[in-house]
Structure 1
Amino acid sequence: MNLLKSTGTIGGLTMVSRILGFGREMLTSRILGASNATDAFVVAFRLPNTFRRLFGEGAFSAGFVPLFSQRLHGEGGAEDARRFSEEVLAVFLPTLIIFTLVFQLIMPAFVAALSGYSGEKLALTTFLTRITFPYLLLISLVSLFSGILNSLTRFTAAAFAPALLNLAMMLALIVVPTGGEASATALSIAVTAGGVIQLALLLVATKRAGISLKLRRPRITPGVRQFVRVVVPATLGAGVYQISAFIDTFFLTRLGTGAPSYFNFADRLNQLPLGVIGAALGTAILPQISRHVGRGEPDKAATIQAQAAELAMLLCLPAALALCATAGPLVGALFQGGRFSAADTAVTAQVLAIIVLGLPAYVLVKVLTPGFYSRQDTKTPVKIAALVLVVNVVLNFLLIPWFGIAGLSAVVAITSWLNCIILYTILHRRGHFRIPGWLASRVARQLVAGAAMVAALYGVRMLLGGWFTGGLGHRLVGLAALIGAGLAVYFPLVWVLGGVDRDAFKALLRRRKPVEDAG
C-alpha cells in the first residue's frame, strides 16, 4: 500500500477519534473542572493506559507484526499466520487475566504509593482505578487483532476503534453532568464499556478479513518462544517508557490539586498531531519495512523511513510551532468555561507551550524505531530507553523544585529529543538509515515556512487582541482566524519553497483507485 495512502487512512480515522477526544475533554473540563475528582479520574485512567502501552500497542506490535507478516508472506501463508496468532493468544490471554486480578488485589497500596494521596481522595482514586483497570485486558486484546489487520493492510477498523471509547465517555458525561464523584464514576465505567465495544469491532473486522481465531490450550510452541524472545525486550523497553510515565504521575500528584488535570488537558492537545501523524506513520511503515528487510532490500527499507520522516516533519513541524504560538487562545477556546477558570487556562497553556517543543522528536521516534523492530532488534531501544529514563529522573529532581509543572513539562520535551537523537545515531552507524540530502533540504525549507507561519500567527493575535479573552463565541472566532492564517501561510509557502515532494502528492491526487484494500 502506498505510504501516503496508508498514513492518510490511519491518520484520517485517528483524527476522528482525536476530535471526539477533544469533545470529551471539553465536557470534562466544564463539568469536572481542575478538581480532586478530575485528578482522581486522570490517575485512574492513566494507570490502565500506561500498562496498555506496556503490554499492548508498542511492545506487542513490535514483536507480533513482523513475525505474523513473515508467516503470512511465507510458505505457510494465511493458515500458518492464523495458527501463530492462536498460539500467542492462548498464552497472552491468561497472562493478562492474572495480571489484572493481581492488581485488583494490591490496588490500594499501589495507588497510594504512586499518587501520595490519602483519605477521601485516595479512596476515590482507588475505587475509580478498580473500575477502569479491566480496560487493560480488553485493549491489549484489541492490540492483537489490530496487529493482524495491520499486517493484512486493513487499517480502517483498528484506526477507528479509539473513537468508540471517546463516544462512550462523552455519553457518560452527558448522562451524568452533575460533576464531582458521580461524573468521575460514570467516566470510569465508560472506559471499560468502551473497551468491550472496541474489542467487539476488531473481532468482527478480523473475521471479515478471513481470519477467525479459536481459543487453544496454552502451550509454549516454537512460534510462542520466538515471539517471547522478541517481545520481552520490547516490553522491557516499553516498561522503561512507562516507568517514566509513572514518574511523571508521581511528581504531578505531588504538585497540588489540579496539576494532573492541567497536564492531562495540555497533553490532549499535544496528542492530536502525535496520534494522527506519529502513530499513523509508525503503524503504516512497520509492515513495509519488515517486508523489505525480510527480502534483503535494506535500501528500500531506508527509503520508506526517509519518506516517512519527510511526511512526519511536513505535518508535525507546523503543528508543534502553531500549538506553541497559540497555546493560550487554543486552551481558552476549548476548555475554559463552567468549572474551568481563566487561571486554569493560563497554567494549562504554559504546560502545552513547553511540551509541544518535543513533539517533532516524539513523532520521529515512531519513524525510527521500526528500523530496529523490523530486524527483530528490540534490545537496543531498551538500552536507549533506560538511559533516557535516568536522565528523566535526574532532570525532574533538578527542575521541578525550581519551576514546578513547567519544569516537568520541559523534561518531557528534552528527553524526547534525547531519545530521538540516540536512536538515529545508532541506525546511522549501523548503516541502516541515514538522512539523505534531499530530506535535509526539504526539512530546512519546512522550517522556513514554519517560521513565516509563526510570524503570521502572532500578527493575528495582535490584531484581534481582546477577542481571545472575551466570551466563548469571540474566543472561537479568534481561534478560527488563527487556524485559517496558519494554514494559509504554511502550506502554500512550503509548496513554493519545495519543502515537499510535489510529484508524489500530485500522483496521489490523480490516483482514483486505491493500490490495495485499506480494510
Structure 2
Amino acid sequence: MTSGKSDGARKPGLLRSGLIVSMMTMLSRVLGLARDIVIANLFGAGSGADAFFVAFKIPNFLRRLFAEGAFNQAFVPVLSEYRSQRDRVAVKGLINAVAGTLGLTLAGITLLAILAAPLLVWVFAPGFSQMPEKQALTVEMLRLTFPYLLLISMTAFAGSILNSYDRFAVPAFTPVLLNLSLIGSAIWLTPMMAEPVMALAWGVLIAGSVQLLFQIPFLARIGLLPRPKVSWKDEGVRRIMKLMAPALFGVSVSQINLLLDTVLASFLISGSVSWLYYSDRLVELPLGVFAIAIATVILPSLSTKHAEKSQQGFARTLDWSMRMVLLIAVPAAVALIVLAEPLLFTLFQYGAMTVHDVDMAAMSLRAYAVGLIAFMLIKVLAPGYYARQDTTTPVKIGIKAMVANMVFNLGLVFWLEHAGLALATSLSAFLNAGLLWYGLKKSGVFVWQAGWWKYLLQLILSTGLMLVLLLQLNPTLAEWASVDWLQRAIWMAILVAFGGVGYVAMLILTGLKPRDLRH
C-alpha cells in the first residue's frame, strides 16, 4: 500500500507556516477594521447596526461552531491519518464522501433556517421582540445572510484540505474577500436600498459565493477537487461525525459565551450590541492574526505526530505553541487596556459614531482584553485534544466554562451592564484555558520544556517597558476627541511604533534570539 506521505514535498517549519498565515490574516483583519470603520461611519451604533450585527452573528456563530470549529477539528485528524496510513485513492474517496454528505446536510439546515428566521431571531436576540420594526428588519436580513453558513462551511472544508497539504496561504487569504465584499456593498449598494443597512446583508451573501469559488482552482491544482458523493455509511464520514458530535460544543465555548452576551445585551439599552461588537472586533485582531494562525498550523502537525506515535514531538509542539501565543498575547492585552479609547477614536469615531459610543465600547474592550491571554491559549490547547481524536474531554471542560459564564453574566450585568457581559466572558475563558492545560498536563501529553522561567521574566520586563512608553506618550482623551482622523492616525502610529520597538528591544536585550522561536 502506498503511503499518503509521498504526495507532499518537504514540509515548511511551523514558525514559517505560522508567519504565512499570520501575514494573510493580518491583511484580512486590517480590511476587517476598514469594513467596521465604514459600517460605523454609515450606521453608527443604532437600531439598524444592531439588527445587522445579530443577522450576521447567527450564521457567523454557526460557522465558527460548525465549520471552523467542530468540523475542522474532526476532519483534519482523520484526513491526516488517511494520508499517513492509506493510499491516495482512499484519501480522495474520503474527500468526495465528506463533500457530498456535508453539502447536503448544510443545504437542509439552510432551508430550515430561512423558513424559521423569526424564531431564530427571537432565540438569539429575544430583547428585539419589544421593538417590532427592529425585529422585522433583523428577520429580513437573516434570510439573506444565513446561506452564508452553507457557502463558508464548504469553503472551510476546502481550506482544511489545503491546510492538511501545507497550503496555508490560500485559506488564510480567503477572508479578505468577505471584507472587500462588505466594504463594496456598504459603499455602492447602500444608496440603492430602500432600507440602507440591507446592503450589508447582500454583501454577506455575495462574499460567501466569492470565497467558495476562489478556493476551487487551488484544490484542482493538487488533484483533490471533490466529486461530491452522499455516503452516510462511509467509514471516514462516520468517524468524523462521531468526533464532531461532542466537538460541536467543546471547541467553540468562547463563541457560545459571546453569543450569550448578545442575547443579554439585546435587553439592555439600544447600542449595547454594537458596543460589544466593536470592542470584540479589536480583541479579535491579535486573536485571529496570531493565535488562530498558530492553531491552524499545529493541528495537522500534532495529528501527524499522534498518528506516528511521536509523544516527545507532540509535547514539544504544544510547548512551542504556548510560548508563541504568550509572546503576543501578553503585550497585546496590556496595549488594548491602555489604549482602549485612543483605538476606538482612531478607528470608529466618525460620522454616526459618537463620543459616548466610544466611552461605552471602551468599557467592554477593556473587559474583553482582560481575557485575551486565555482566549489565545484556548486556541492552541484545544488541538492537543482534537489531534488525538479526543473530543469528549473538551466538552466536559466547555460545559463547566459555559455554566461559569452564565453565573458571571448574571452577577455582573446588573453592575457593569454590557461591560459586565464582556468581563464574564473573559473570566470563563480563564477557567476554560486552565482546565484544558491541566488535563493535558495530568495525562502526560503536555510536558514543560526547559527555559520557561527565563522566558516569563523576559515577557514581564519587555511588556513593562512597553507599558511605560505608552503611558508617557499617550495624549489625553480630550485631545484624542478634538483632533481629526489624520492627527489621530499619526499619534496612534507613534504609540504603536515606540511601544513595539521598546518591547522587541527589551526581548533582545534580555537574551531572546530568533532561534528560540523556531520549531
Same fold per superposition (TM over 0.5):
yes
The aligned residue for residue 424 of structure 2 is 411
1:333·1:475 contact (CA, 8 Å) conserved in 2? yes
Q: 2:25 aligns with which of 14, 38, 59?
A: 14
Correspondence 1:94 to 2:104: yes
1:324 CA drift (Å): 1.1
Alpha-carbon spacing, 1:416–1:296, altered in 2? closer, same or farther (3 Å): same
The aligned residue for residue 204 of structure 2 is 191
Correspondence 1:277 to 2:287: no
Q: Deviations over 1:200-238 (max 9, x none)?
A: 111111111221210223331122111112121211324
Correspondence 1:133 to 2:139: no
Q: 2:51 aligns with which of 3, 20, 40?
A: 40
Q: 1:61 aligns with which of 29, 49, 72?
A: 72
The aligned residue for residue 503 of structure 1 is 515
Q: Distance in 1 between matches of 2:326 and 2:396?
A: 26
Q: Distance in 2 between matches of 1:27 and 1:222?
A: 47
The aligned residue for residue 308 of structure 1 is 321
Q: 1:258 aligns with which of 242, 265, 271?
A: 271
The aligned residue for residue 61 of structure 2 is 50
For structure 1, the residue ranges without an aligned partner over 5 or more in a row are 509-519
1:463 CA drift (Å): 8.2
Correspondence 1:210 to 2:208: no
Correspondence 1:402 to 2:415: yes
Correspondence 1:484 to 2:497: yes
Aligned residue identity for 1:107? A
Q: Distance in 1 between matches of 2:274 and 2:477?
A: 29
Deviates more, 1:161-170 or 1:317-326: 317-326
Q: Distance in 1 between matches of 2:282 and 2:446?
A: 31
Q: Distance in 2 between matches of 1:186 and 1:92?
A: 29
2:251·2:382 contact (CA, 8 Å) conserved in 1? no
1:148 CA drift (Å): 0.5
Q: Deviations over 1:158-181 (max 9, x none)?
A: 000000000000001111455997
The aligned residue for residue 114 of structure 2 is 104
Q: Any idea what SS the aligned residue of 2:226 has?
A: coil
Q: Distance in 2 between matches of 1:469 and 1:317?
A: 31
State how 1:286-297 maps to structure 2 within 5 Å: 286-297=299-310
Q: Distance in 1 between matches of 2:291 and 2:50?
A: 27
Q: Deviations over 1:43-79 (max 9, x none)?
A: 0000001111122001111110011111112231x32
Q: 2:487 aligns with which of 454, 460, 474?
A: 474
1:53·1:238 contact (CA, 8 Å) conserved in 2? no
Alpha-carbon spacing, 1:429–1:27, altered in 2? closer, same or farther (3 Å): same
Q: Deviations over 1:68-95 (max 9, x none)?
A: 111112231x321111111112211111
Q: Any idea what SS the aligned residue of 1:340 has?
A: coil
Aligned residue identity for 2:496? I
Q: Deviations over 1:469-517 (max 9, x none)?
A: 422222222111211111121011012113x443245x89xxxxxxxxx
Q: Deviations over 1:121-174 (max 9, x none)?
A: 000011011110000001111111111000000011100000000000000111
Aligned residue identity for 1:41? F
The aligned residue for residue 512 of structure 1 is none
Q: Distance in 2 between matches of 1:396 and 1:339?
A: 29
1:310·1:443 contact (CA, 8 Å) conserved in 2? no
Q: Distance in 1 between matches of 2:59 and 2:453?
A: 39
Correspondence 1:323 to 2:371: no
The aligned residue for residue 2 of structure 1 is 13
Alpha-carbon spacing, 1:179–1:34, altered in 2? closer, same or farther (3 Å): farther
- The alignment's TM-score, normalised by the length of structure 1, stands at 0.94
1:35·1:257 contact (CA, 8 Å) conserved in 2? yes
Correspondence 1:123 to 2:118: no
Alpha-carbon spacing, 1:217–1:373, altered in 2? closer, same or farther (3 Å): closer
State how 1:212-251 maps to structure 2 within 5 Å: 212-238=225-251, 240-251=253-264
2:254·2:375 contact (CA, 8 Å) conserved in 1? no
State how 1:341-490 maps to structure 2 within 5 Å: 341-462=354-475, 466-467=479-480, 469-490=482-503
Q: 2:89 aligns with which of 68, 73, 79?
A: 79
1:468·1:478 contact (CA, 8 Å) conserved in 2? no
1:457·1:482 contact (CA, 8 Å) conserved in 2? yes
The aligned residue for residue 114 of structure 1 is 124
Q: Distance in 1 between matches of 2:453 and 2:70?
A: 30
Aligned residue identity for 1:102? L
The aligned residue for residue 187 of structure 2 is 174
Aligned residue identity for 2:159? S
Identity percentage of aligned residues: 33
Q: Distance in 2 between matches of 1:26 and 1:60?
A: 32
Q: Distance in 2 between matches of 1:445 and 1:427?
A: 25
- The alignment's TM-score, normalised by the length of structure 2, stands at 0.94
1:441 CA drift (Å): 2.6
The aligned residue for residue 6 of structure 2 is none
Q: Any idea what SS the aligned residue of 2:446 has?
A: coil
Aligned residue identity for 1:209? I
Aligned residue identity for 1:273? P
Alpha-carbon spacing, 1:181–1:472, altered in 2? closer, same or farther (3 Å): farther
1:55·1:235 contact (CA, 8 Å) conserved in 2? yes
Q: Distance in 2 between matches of 1:198 and 1:35?
A: 29
Q: Deviations over 1:334-387 (max 9, x none)?
A: 000101011111111121122011111111111111110111001100110011
1:50·1:245 contact (CA, 8 Å) conserved in 2? no
Alpha-carbon spacing, 1:111–1:383, altered in 2? closer, same or farther (3 Å): same
Alpha-carbon spacing, 1:352–1:178, altered in 2? closer, same or farther (3 Å): farther
Deviates more, 1:307-316 or 1:38-47: 307-316
Q: Deviations over 1:12-52 (max 9, x none)?
A: 00000001001100001011011100000000000001111
2:77·2:303 contact (CA, 8 Å) conserved in 1? yes
For structure 2, the residue ranges without an aligned partner over 5 or more in a row are 1-11
1:468 CA drift (Å): 5.5
Aligned residue identity for 1:362? F
1:31·1:178 contact (CA, 8 Å) conserved in 2? no
Aligned residue identity for 1:332? F
Give the number of equivalent residue pairs: 505
1:358·1:412 contact (CA, 8 Å) conserved in 2? yes
Q: Distance in 1 between matches of 2:263 and 2:225?
A: 42
